[in-house]
Each structure stands twice: as C-alpha cells, then as structure tokens.
Amino acid sequence: MPQSPDHTGIDWNKILESLEEAKITHDMTKEEFSALATAREARALLAAQEFDEDGGWREFTALREKRRKFRLRIVRLAVAAGLALAIGAGLWLFTPSGNTLHTADSAGPGKVRLRTADGRILELDRGAGTIQDNDIARIQAAGDSLVYTAGNTGSEGAKMDTLEIPAGMPFRLLLADGTKVWLNATSKLIYPAAFHGEAREVYLEGEGYFEVAQNARQPFRVHSGKTITTVLGTAFNIRAYSASVITTLSSGKVKVTAGAAVVTLLPDEQSTFDPESGRLDKAPAIAADMTAWVQGNLYFDSAPLADITESLGRYYGLDFSFDDAATSQLRFTLDMPRPATIEEALAQLKASRTDLHFQINGKVVTVSRRLQP
C-alpha cells in the first residue's frame, strides 16, 4: 500500500518501486530524487568494484537512520540496488517510451532544449527515453529531469552539452560525477557529458542550485557572469539572471572569485558581485529562503513588486508592465507553494492590497493601482 512521505519528505515505497520496476515518477520530490541519485552512485561504485561495504552505504542511509522503523526499507533498497546491478550495470531507472524526444533546428516555445556535443538539438517532453549511449556517456530523460552516466572512455573531451530551460517549472539534472543540479526557469547550463582533467567546469546563466559530489582531487567550478565559484563538495545556490551574481551557501564551504576579489562563504552566507563597481561583497543570508524555489515554493520577504513579478514572469512565461514607478516598488511578503496558474499567484498579492489591479492581455500583464472610493 502506498505510504505518504515521512518527516524527511521521502516516500520510501516510491523509491523502492523506482528501483524494482526501472522507472521514475514525474512527481518525485527533491529529497526522493536525491535518494534515488545516491542509489545510482552506490551502484556505479559496485560496477567499478570500488564499493566499501562498511562505508559505501553511509551517505545513502544517513537520512533514514534517524528513525529505526525505516531500517527494513533500507535493507530492501540496498538489495534492490544490488539486484539492478546484477541484471546489468548499464540499466538505469527509466522506462523508454516512443515519441518523447524530438530533433529540431530550433526548439519550440516552452520546451526544454538540449544541445549535445555532437550538434544535435533535442526537445525534451514529459516522457522517458535514451538520448545517448556511447563510450563518452549515457544520457537518459524522464519527465522534468536528465541523468548522465559516465561511459568507459577516459579521454578528455573539450565539447560541451548545453541545457536550456524555458519559462515555466524548474528542471533537474544529474551530472556524470553524481552532482545534482536544479535549474530555475529561463536558465542555461553548459557542461561536459563526463568530467575529465584537473577540474569539473560548468557554466551557468540564470539560476541553479547545486549539490556537488565530493571529489578532493577534482574541484567543481561554476562560471557565472564574471564570477567563479569553486567547491569540493557542498550545496549552494547561484542567481545570475543579470550581470549581478548572487551566491548563497547552504552547506559546506565555497570560494567565490571575481577578478582579483575573493571571498570565502560558510553556510548561510551570501556573496554579491556588482558589475558596475566591480565589488564582491559578503553578508549573512538565510539559505533556505534563497532556495525555496527548489522546493516548488514562492518566497519573498518584503520584496519590491518589480522583483516578485520578474520571478512570476519566468515561471508563467509573461511580461509585466507598471503604470508608474511607485507601483513597482510596493513591497510584499509572500510564502506559498507555487500555484499552477498566474491568476492564483496574483490573487495572493491582491489580498493584501485591494487597490492593486492586474490586467492580463495575452502574454503581457499590466499592473496598476485603482483609487479607493
């Protein structure tokens, strides 16, 4: 019988079914996706005969050892992962289906677009399918996620894949090294199908949340605007929709550089790069607030309406215009699950300002204030 998620946010039966039935559900949460990814990493170690039986499952079981009653499920998950390896190390967690990947010279509106290193441009739909399976890497798509598995070749490749996320819901990506990435709407990530060389280098435009797989011998670097964020293994958010770059650390430790300027961030600290002044500043921040979008939430704390509508425009594919500058600077606090429609989001704003008016005309929303009688 299906079980609702526990206090960790994970439905263990869903994870078990994904392992046993070689499929992934479209409603998988961030925590469930991470647990599933960790199982994949453990299986990769098994395939490489580098699995430490005493410590290899430590990361995979850490979350669920908080409560003893889940230990039976832990054993079943470990057995399922081992059986999947025995069936075939190349098997991953998707059920292929036809007509889900479309090759096009240019992607249509509202489609996630993947440009592979060999020059193909693919539109990713909600179904599952294998995009690539060669010595460089295996790439598989399912719903709102992509999974990379490194191939057998050890040769270094200079060509990169490019993943472009349109306006709408965020997208998830599992890189070949086990790093997990959540990309926000209207973002782009450039990265290799498999990492070789002295460092793992990726390039971000827009906003991304990274949970970096630890590898002390191969640091992970995110290039965004004029900044470089360097880590070994940690979790952080980068927002770079404009020339300004904001990096917020959730856990671990990162170094952010911008030209000659360097700052080191600890958890709940944030760096801001101002391209006009060239300054790179550091300040305290609440990382959970900055990463609310990863959980599918809208969170703004006394934010100008212009900032809020900028985010709403990315999520719903709309442009906002204001009747005057004063209206755009009205401040609101918003903390809610991201609604399915723009009308629901605007209704929350109107609830606290009855004089606020939104007129939707096609893809443009005009914001004005009406005088009270």
Q: Residue 135: give its domain's CATH number.
A: 2.60.120.1440
CA distance 29 to 45: 25
State the DSSP H helix or E strand holding residue 43, giving kind and residue range, or none if neither: helix 30-47
CA distance 214 to 209: 16
CATH of the domain at 320: 3.55.50.30
Query: In this structure, are 122 and 67 located in the same domain?
Result: no
Query: In this structure, are 155 and 260 located in the same domain?
Result: yes
Query: In this structure, are 117 and 236 located in the same domain?
Result: yes
State the DSSP H helix or E strand holding residue 123, giving kind and residue range, or none if neither: strand 121-124
Q: In what order do the strands lie in the sheet with 319-322?
A: 319-322, 364-369, 356-361
Could you tell me what percent of the chain has a pLDDT over 90?
54
Instruction: Name the token pair of 35.
Output: 């647990």
Instruction: Give how many domains the chain has, as a whole number.
Output: 3
Encode 283-314 in three state secondary structure.
EECCHHHHCHHHHCEEEEEEEEHHHHHHHHHH
**Residue 157 belongs to a domain:** yes
CA distance 218 to 250: 21
Q: Which domain holds residue 232?
A: 101-289
CA distance 148 to 175: 5
CA distance 10 to 20: 17
**Residue 7 belongs to a domain:** no
Query: What is the overall mean pLDDT for the chain?
Result: 78
> What backbone phi and psi angles, to 5 degrees, belong to 174?
-110, 110
What's the CA dihedral at 104, 106, 111, 112 to 10 degrees? 90
Highest mean pLDDT: which range of 94-98, 101-105, 345-349: 345-349
| pLDDT tier for residue 151 given thresholds of 50, 70 and 90 | confident
What's the start-to-end Cα distance of the chain, in Å?
57
| pLDDT tier for residue 2 given thresholds of 50, 70 and 90 | very low
Q: Is the pLDDT assigned to residue 58 strictly greater than 70?
A: no
Indicate the residue among 54, 87, 120 that finishes a domain: 87
Query: In this structure, are 240 and 225 located in the same domain?
Result: yes
Residue for token pair 């880590």: 231
Q: Is the pLDDT assigned to residue 18 strictly greater than 80?
A: no
Query: In this structure, are 225 and 144 located in the same domain?
Result: yes
Query: In this structure, are 220 and 149 located in the same domain?
Result: yes
Q: Is the pLDDT assigned to residue 239 strictly greater than 70?
A: yes
Q: What is residue 23's predicted lDDT score, i.e. its pLDDT?
A: 47
Q: Is the pLDDT assigned to residue 301 strictly greater than 80?
A: yes
Q: What is residue 197's predicted lDDT score, i.e. its pLDDT?
A: 86
**Residue 323 belongs to a domain:** yes
Full-model pTM: 0.70
Query: In this structure, are 69 and 204 located in the same domain?
Result: no
| pLDDT tier for residue 83 given thresholds of 50, 70 and 90 | very low
Q: What is residue 123's predicted lDDT score, i.e. its pLDDT?
A: 87
Indicate the residue among 242, 268, 289 that finishes a domain: 289
- Sign of the dihedral through C-alpha 140, 122, 202, 170: negative
| pLDDT tier for residue 17 given thresholds of 50, 70 and 90 | low
Comparing 78-87, 226-235, 326-335, the range with the smallest average pLDDT is 78-87
Comparing 46-50, 58-62, 119-123, 130-134, the range with the smallest average pLDDT is 46-50
Q: What is residue 78's predicted lDDT score, i.e. its pLDDT?
A: 41
Higher pLDDT, 98 or 367: 367
Q: Is the pLDDT assigned to residue 112 strictly greater than 70?
A: yes
**Residue 326 belongs to a domain:** yes
Comparing 20-29, 224-233, 350-359, the range with the smallest average pLDDT is 20-29
Query: In this structure, are 259 and 203 located in the same domain?
Result: yes
Query: In this structure, are 118 and 42 located in the same domain?
Result: no
Could you tell me what percent of the chain has a pLDDT over 70?
68
Q: What is residue 29's predicted lDDT score, i.e. its pLDDT?
A: 65
Q: What is the mean pLDDT of residues 62-80?
A: 39
Comparing 112-116, 224-228, 369-373, the range with the smallest average pLDDT is 369-373
Q: What is the mean pLDDT of residues 302-317?
A: 94
Query: In this structure, are 168 and 144 located in the same domain?
Result: yes
CB-CB contact of 308 with 292 (8 Å) = no
Higher pLDDT, 50 or 333: 333
**Residue 304 belongs to a domain:** yes
CA distance 222 to 151: 23
Higher pLDDT, 361 or 370: 361
Query: In this structure, are 21 and 66 located in the same domain?
Result: yes
| pLDDT tier for residue 234 given thresholds of 50, 70 and 90 | very high
**Residue 93 belongs to a domain:** no
Query: In this structure, are 42 and 149 located in the same domain?
Result: no
| pLDDT tier for residue 223 given thresholds of 50, 70 and 90 | very high
Q: What is the mean pLDDT of residues 256-267?
A: 95
Q: What is the mean pLDDT of residues 120-134?
A: 83
